Amino acid sequence: MAGRGRPAGLPLADSIPTDAGPGLSAAEVAERVADGRTNAYRQAASRSAGSILRANALTLFNGIIAACFLVLLLLGRWQDALFGLSALANTIIGSVQEFRAKAALDRLAVLHAPNARVLRDGSQSQIAVADVVLDDILALRAGDQVPADAVVVTGGHLQLDESLLTGESDPVDKSPGDEVLSGSVVVGGEGLARVERVGAASFANKLSAEAKQFSLVASELRSSIDRVLRWVTWVVGPIALLVFNAQVIALGGWADTFSSGSWRQAAVNTIAAVVAMIPLGLVLMTSIAFAVGAVKLARQQVLVQELAAVEGLARVDLVCLDKTGTLTEGDIEFDAEHPLGDGPDGWREVLAWYGADPDANATARCLAVPYTRAVPGEPTGRIPFSSARKWSAVSFGQGAPGSWVLGGPEMVFPDNRLADRTAQLAASGRRTLVLAHSSRPLPAEERLPAGLEPVAVLTFRERIRSDAAETLQYFADQGVAVRVISGDNPQTVAAIARQVGLDAPHGFDARELPADPVELAEIVEGNTVFGRVTPDQKKAIVVALQSGGHTVAMTGDGVNDALAIKQADIGIAMESGAAATKAVARIVLLDGRFSHLPGVVAEGRQVIANIERVSMLFLTKTAYATALALLFGAFVLQFPFLPRQLSVIDGLTIGLPSFFLALMPNARRYVPGFLVRSLSFAVPAGAVIALTLLAYSWSSASAGVGQPELRTGSTLILTIVGLWVLTVLSRPIDGWKVIIIGSMMIGLVLVYAVPIARDFLQLTEVSAVTALLVLVFSAACVGLIEVVRFVHRRFVGRHTAAHAPASARSAEVDGRVRPPAELIGAVVICYIAGVAEILAGILLLFVRYGDGLDGVERLVVTAVGAATIMLGLLVISLGSGLTRGRREARVLLTVLFAVSAALSVVVLLTDGAVTAFRLLDLAISVAVIVVLWTGRAARFFRRSGSSERRVPSAG
């Protein structure tokens, strides 16, 4: 399969007939340029910068925040306007996301050849691709990319690779009168072609124009959050009026309030209620999680061109693969020789000559590796390869006398004498060629010599990607279906699919695909491999799969894949692919390694699972803020918070911890229904918190507590309850979560203890009555939240089981290990110890109201009491981690109980009296440590660890 093109060293001008004429004159070129008939092409930007900024800045959400921000500045209450920074960050990040997508689309270019050769005024010259005009004569040679659609005028065995456009990997012969399309590549021969279509009318630019339509990747996280924001923004107006009316009446009525100037406080209270309803940080946290995921993937040579694509691939349940460049390396390699008898001497030297021929095509060049000793001397005759006849021939006078033909078995021997021998080889996905010999010379015409006899069958194969089989097995284990869509022969594609482990008994010929969408959907559901697929059919197949409820990813590297990649939920391109394909893809594999996809899936799962947890924090705040606004508005009570108090508490119980929680490892499988699961906790928990604060406010008002002290007590309750919600949603508490939650607790203690912070937040010293009310209502609220979480976990379990794939449910069951009874006993001890610590901390807090304590002593007692309560919360949270087999929880609890045992020993040794309490404390500490590290409990932790590594958690 060699012999294409001109003899080596022959210049272009001597090898191509010049009957195409001298080309266009300078005057003709100028006329066409003036008329706009040039190849210069610049499509309008996919979306203007102004429209992106307007879409992200001029929203109802931002309008509400900006109005509240300006009102507070006008009232001189800049301390309460901290929330404006979060809204600004949301706008900037949203705009940057869309600018990234716009930039990728605006860089779209199918044609990346910088210059073109044309004949003008009788001479050949190089010009920019954009300067080609209609009717120009293109001079094409091997390696050129065709800059515009043209018709061949003259040619010397001209062959084009149109795989980037059509998906068909075999070179195509082009004779005078044949059309050559922009974007195709000359792989053999040379010729002249007259330009027929330029600019926007050319095939490549029309294809890129269709692919270049702007769209953001579908994101359940983003759409769900946007839905919540729409709900909030539409109800915030009526609620704001309700709250403002209540504040005015509570402060003395409309007439007195405006005459005394207290309407300003009513406005501040209303703004506090309104701003608290909006989950300001949720959009920001989602964007940060996407961005960090994209950076981590970039280190693995995976370019994420749109941040939400990190989430998208985790939702995919069906992957469409292009064979060339995805399952295979895209090139051919020699497989084996199959001699047919002894054969004449020198046949291997003939194969070596074919491999070393400068004009050899990709298949013939493979022969240079196994056959290195070529026939000496020059051939006496040759017939170049043609894709139409699918064979080439050469003759030698000595060394290997006679005529030799290399080509397809069915073309060299039309009598099919080799059909039985080659059928099995072809069915395995290997390409077959036959080397035949004749003692007679080559005929003058381009036809086979007489008396041909087969000498050897040669097999070639496409190089399978080393990571393809393992990656496809991963998708099979995860319940992700696969479709192979290719422009090649369907049976060849099916054979390669079988080599990488797919169940593909046969391939479906896309020429038989129906136009009816319903029939098409049935066929694509029932078949795995499709061959002879056109670019439009690839897109239609993706649409049909999406209509069946699938979330579809599409991989590819050619321009023929661009439309399907654009249509798919997640498009994945190889770096070696066409520029158009990479520009419309959401993800680009920079080193072309298909094996990166499981890592992308894992990163997407982490984003979804962590944002779901974080969203419950933010949506709980939205729920209780909305309920508070409604309740305090309906009961005509002063709103119990200042905006600055809510901003600081939200930052320490939601904002800062959510930043870290959103970036922690989490391999939970994706299950649809993110918003339903989040709201099923947030709404009842928010209602509980709002009712608790209402009951506290009513009780405090009945007890004669002033408004500043009432606000301080409300802030204390919200702090305690907010920390508890954070702890509940972070379970199991292990590893970095201990540090995160502990740091937030320390920060809140400092807020209440440091005079500057306390004065800024307008927190006052509380009386014993207020302290008692705070503790009672906080304890009641914490207990109710535990009930809500208990019910929520069971709801989530049922919801997950109903929506998760069967393979995921079975893997989950297989990987679950039940804790032994003695470990359950240790957990109960942890709960009792934690409650005891909390009660001790509460008693210490009451000591601060005793007589004889100065300011420093009161501060120390407060800090110790708060720290004791935090320690109790930590012990309870770690205890919950034991039942899940969390090794970090076991280690931390061992340290805590070891410290307790050591302190008991020290007291027993230094104190003369031996008390039953100290002995019991020592015995319990030692018993818990022994249980955690020996017997069935120790084996439980080992099994849980190995199970966790084997099966991603679903829960």
User: How many residues belong to the chain?
Assistant: 955
* Residues 397 and 381 sit within 8 Å (Cβ to Cβ): no
What is the C-alpha separation between 532 and 428, in angstroms, rounded?
18
Q: What is the largest CA-CA distance in the chain?
A: 123
DSSP per position, 657-720:
HHHHHTTS---PPP-S-HHHHHHHHHHHHHHHHHHHHHHHHHHHHHTT--HHHHHHHHHHHHHH
Q: Which residue, 387, 408, 45, 52, is CA-closest to 216?
A: 52
Residues facing residue 405 across a β-bridge: 393, 436
* Residues 833 and 875 sit within 8 Å (Cβ to Cβ): yes
CB atoms within 10 A of CB 295: 10
User: 């090898």: which residue's tokens?
Assistant: 15
Tokens standing for residue 538: 């690839």
Ranges assigned E (strand) in 766-819: none
Side-chain-facing half-sphere of 371: CA atoms under 13 Å:
24
Active-site residue list: 322
CB atoms within 10 A of CB 415: 7
What is the C-alpha separation between 691 and 698, in angstroms, rounded?
11
What is the C-alpha separation between 113 and 183, in angstroms, rounded?
9
Axis crossing angle, helix 220-250 with helix 674-702, rounded to the nearest 10:
20
Interior/surface letters 881-913, b for 16+ CB within 10 angstroms, e for the rest = bbbbbbbbbbebbeebbeebbeebeeebeeeee
Q: Which residues contact 680 (CB under 8 A, 6 or more apart)?
A: 792, 795, 796
Tokens standing for residue 409: 């078995």
Gyration radius of the chain over CA positions: 38
* Residues 488 and 168 sit within 8 Å (Cβ to Cβ): yes
* Residues 799 and 676 sit within 8 Å (Cβ to Cβ): yes
H/E segment holding residue 119: strand 115-120
What is the C-alpha separation between 878 and 869, in angstroms, rounded?
14
Tokens standing for residue 769: 């009555």
DSSP per position, 709-741:
HHHHHHHHHHHHHHHHHHHHHH-S--THHHHHH
What is the C-alpha separation between 70 and 273, in angstroms, rounded?
16
34, 746, 843 from 723: Cα distances, Å:
72, 11, 20
* Residues 312 and 290 sit within 8 Å (Cβ to Cβ): no
* Residues 129 and 94 sit within 8 Å (Cβ to Cβ): no
H/E segment holding residue 87: helix 83-106
Specify burial of residue 479 (Cβ count, 10 A radius: 0-12, 13-18, 19+).
middle
Specify burial of residue 160 (Cβ count, 10 A radius: 0-12, 13-18, 19+).
buried
Tokens standing for residue 252: 């003395």
Give 244-249 contacts, CB < 8 A, sequence gap 24+: 244/270, 245/633, 246/632, 246/633, 246/634, 246/635, 246/636, 246/637, 247/638, 247/639, 249/636
Interior/surface letters 259-270, b for 16+ CB within 10 angstroms, e for the rest = eeebbbbbbbbb
